Amino acid sequence: MQLNLKKIPLSVKILVGLALGVIFGIFAVNFGLSKFTSDWISPFGEIFVRLLKLIAIPLILVSLIKGVSDLRSTAGLSNMGIKTILYYICTTVIAVCLGICLAYIIKPGNFFPKEQQQTLCEKYSENVESRQIEAEIVKEKGPLSFLVDIVPENIFEASTQNTMMLQIIFFAILIGVTILLLPRKKTKSFRKFIDSSNSIVLKIIEIVMLYAPIGVFALIASVITDIAGDDPNGSISLFKALGMYVITVITGLFILILIFYPTMASLLGKIRYLKFTKAILPAQLMGFSTSSSAATLPVTKKCVEENLNVSPEVSSFVLPIGATVNMDGTSLYQAVAAIFIAQVFAIDLSFVEILTIILTATLASIGSAAVPGAGMIMLLIVLSSVHIPVEGLALIFAVDRPLDMIRTSVNVTGDSVISIIINRGLIKKGKHT
Ligand code: ASP
């Protein structure tokens, strides 16, 4: 029995957890068990996300130091760095443009019942205010503050917050490069230490993954009860009002996940559609369940290395950076949301304003932390850049969580594709076996 369970692929186990979570969630909503779910089921999901986040920082630190110090030269690193960033920016801009096109073709704002506008604005105004304060803090910083933010003043402080992942990445690359610059003899014992730390971290991930089906079950069940409460009809009517907006965002996200990425993987990474989709499924499901690219990182890394033969050197570099800066799903969502709100408020956007949305949504997705709901905070910056009333956020608040789940799956898929392409480039150059 034990042996059979081990043989079941991770994606199947997660899918089963997810399906049971959905069934339980619907049952709980219909039988008034929401409180029971939040008291007795949801903590198991929280524990799972905490475990994943707990391992994310040591994973980045150790695997990135190992990845960089295993490279042959610093030139290889800068080459890989430039390519990675360029691919990330290109895919993000494509995602924003896709979002804008869909929002103009479907025009979701025109389907929105006007009587709902007032109700929603009143209902969620408090939530908007708290998001606004967070966005103000980001906006008040100077234009180059993002560069300053990358450099930690205290690595221990940086490692206490998952939102400071870029600082950890900076520190790890600094150590890795320094190792490359020093004679091998001098760094021998440190390399050994990093090697065994790497093995330990990977083993911990394996252990945590044993708990994945239960964690996913609990996460999904509590998301359903959180959204619906004990009144399924209320949330259904909200979903209906926002239906076209939801459909527009989901259509864009599905185009990315089902067409754009697999095409990129096969054209530029030489990986077949089905192989890619199957290989990356566990990471997508994990992104869906946790709504956090950072928490999903250990699974994304495992998927690309074990199922798609991406070398650890590449995945350790490309994926942590991607989890923090490459959020195609988030940028697409921000573009659609901005135009949807403009349509509801009957604001006509000029060509320059659309270009501004492309620029700010790209930057805002880069600036979004890899945690649940981060994209929505940064959406405020997109809205205010083109003078769309930020109160409009209240309109889309109710459906943000399910969209966050899907866009996080897209975000992690985008990172994986780029890791395949960068890996392929290195193979072609003969730097890997
Ligand atoms: N939850 C997303 C992520 O972690 C970010 C967002 O769009 O809110 O990738």
CATH number where 28 lies: 1.10.3860
Please tell me the residue having the least CA distance from ligand 1 atom 7.
Answer: 375
The whole-number pLDDT of residue 74 equals 77
Say how many CA atoms lie within 13 Å of 380 toward its Cβ.
22
> Could you tell me if residue 4 is inside a domain?
no
CA distances from 365 to 27, 335, 354, 385, 389 (A): 36, 10, 16, 14, 20
Residue of 327, 410, 413 best suited for mutating to test ligand 1, as the one with most atoms within 8 Å of CB: 327
> Does the beta carbon of 131 lie inside 6 Å of ligand 1?
no
Q: Mean pLDDT over residues 191-210, rounded?
A: 91
> Could you tell me if residue 414 is inside a domain?
yes
Other Cβ atoms less than 10 A from the Cβ of 294: the count is: 24
373 Cα: distance to centroid of ligand 1 (angstroms)? 6
The whole-number pLDDT of residue 377 equals 86
Q: Mean pLDDT over residues 390-418, rounded?
A: 91
CA–CA gap between residue 425 and residue 275 (Å, rounded): 19
> Could you tell me if residue 335 is inside a domain?
yes
Between 153 and 162, the more confident residue is 153
CA–CA gap between residue 327 and residue 404 (Å, rounded): 11
> Could you tell me if residue 176 is inside a domain?
yes
The whole-number pLDDT of residue 141 equals 72
> Does the beta carbon of 400 lie inside 6 Å of ligand 1?
no
> Does the beta carbon of 370 lie inside 6 Å of ligand 1?
yes
* Mean per-residue pLDDT over the chain, rounded: 88
Residue of 371, 377, 393 best suited for mutating to test ligand 1, as the one with most atoms within 8 Å of CB: 371
Q: Mean pLDDT over residues 195-217, rounded?
A: 92
Please tell me the residue having the least CA distance from ligand 1 atom 2.
Answer: 408
> Using 50, 70 and 90 to split pLDDT, how confident is the model at 360?
very high
Q: What number does the ligand 1 atom closest to the CA of 412 have?
A: 9
> Does the beta carbon of 325 lie inside 6 Å of ligand 1?
no
The whole-number pLDDT of residue 156 equals 82
Q: What number does the ligand 1 atom closest to the CA of 373 have?
A: 8
Residue of 293, 365, 378, 382 best suited for mutating to test ligand 1, as the one with most atoms within 8 Å of CB: 293
In the predicted model, is pLDDT for residue 75 greater than 90?
A: no
In the predicted model, is pLDDT for residue 189 greater than 80?
A: yes
Q: Which amino acid is at 294?
A: A
CA–CA gap between residue 382 and residue 342 (Å, rounded): 12
Between 393 and 415, the more confident residue is 415
Range of the domain at 159: 9-428
376 Cα: distance to centroid of ligand 1 (angstroms)? 9
The whole-number pLDDT of residue 241 equals 73
Q: Mean pLDDT over residues 280-303, rounded?
A: 94
Between 391 and 343, the more confident residue is 343
Please tell me the residue having the least CA distance from ligand 1 atom 6.
Answer: 375
In the predicted model, is pLDDT for residue 431 greater than 60?
A: no
> Could you tell me if residue 374 is inside a domain?
yes
> Using 50, 70 and 90 to split pLDDT, how confident is the model at 293?
very high
Q: Mean pLDDT over residues 162-169, rounded?
A: 75
> Using 50, 70 and 90 to split pLDDT, how confident is the model at 163?
low
Contacts of 8 (CB under 8 A, 6+ apart): none
Q: What is the pLDDT of residues 213-246, one digit of tens each?
A: 999 999 999 988 887 776 666 667 667 778 899 9
> Does the beta carbon of 162 lie inside 6 Å of ligand 1?
no
Cβ atoms 217, 26 nearer than 8 A: no
> Could you tell me if residue 378 is inside a domain?
yes
The whole-number pLDDT of residue 418 equals 97
Q: What is the pLDDT of residues 129-154, one digit of tens each?
A: 777 777 777 767 776 777 788 888 88
In the predicted model, is pLDDT for residue 285 greater than 70?
A: yes
> Could you tell me if residue 1 is inside a domain?
no
The whole-number pLDDT of residue 433 equals 37
Structural domain count of the chain: 1
Q: What share of the chain is helix, strand, coil (3-state, %, to 5)?
A: 85, 0, 15
Q: Mean pLDDT over residues 295-324, rounded?
A: 93
Q: Mean pLDDT over residues 336-360, rounded?
A: 92
CA–CA gap between residue 247 and residue 211 (Å, rounded): 33
Read off φ and ψ for residue 185, nearest 5 degrees. -60, -40
Q: Mean pLDDT over residues 5-26, rounded?
A: 88
Residue of 52, 411, 412, 416 best suited for mutating to test ligand 1, as the one with most atoms within 8 Å of CB: 411
CA–CA gap between residue 423 and residue 315 (Å, rounded): 8
The whole-number pLDDT of residue 90 equals 96
pLDDT-above-70 percentage for the chain: 91
> Does the beta carbon of 307 lie inside 6 Å of ligand 1?
no
> Does the beta carbon of 407 lie inside 6 Å of ligand 1?
yes
1 Cα: distance to centroid of ligand 1 (angstroms)? 38
Residue of 330, 333, 365, 381 best suited for mutating to test ligand 1, as the one with most atoms within 8 Å of CB: 330
Between 6 and 359, the more confident residue is 359
Q: What number does the ligand 1 atom closest to the CA of 374 have?
A: 8
CA–CA gap between residue 433 and residue 431 (Å, rounded): 7
In the predicted model, is pLDDT for residue 11 greater than 60?
A: yes
In the predicted model, is pLDDT for residue 326 greater than 90?
A: yes
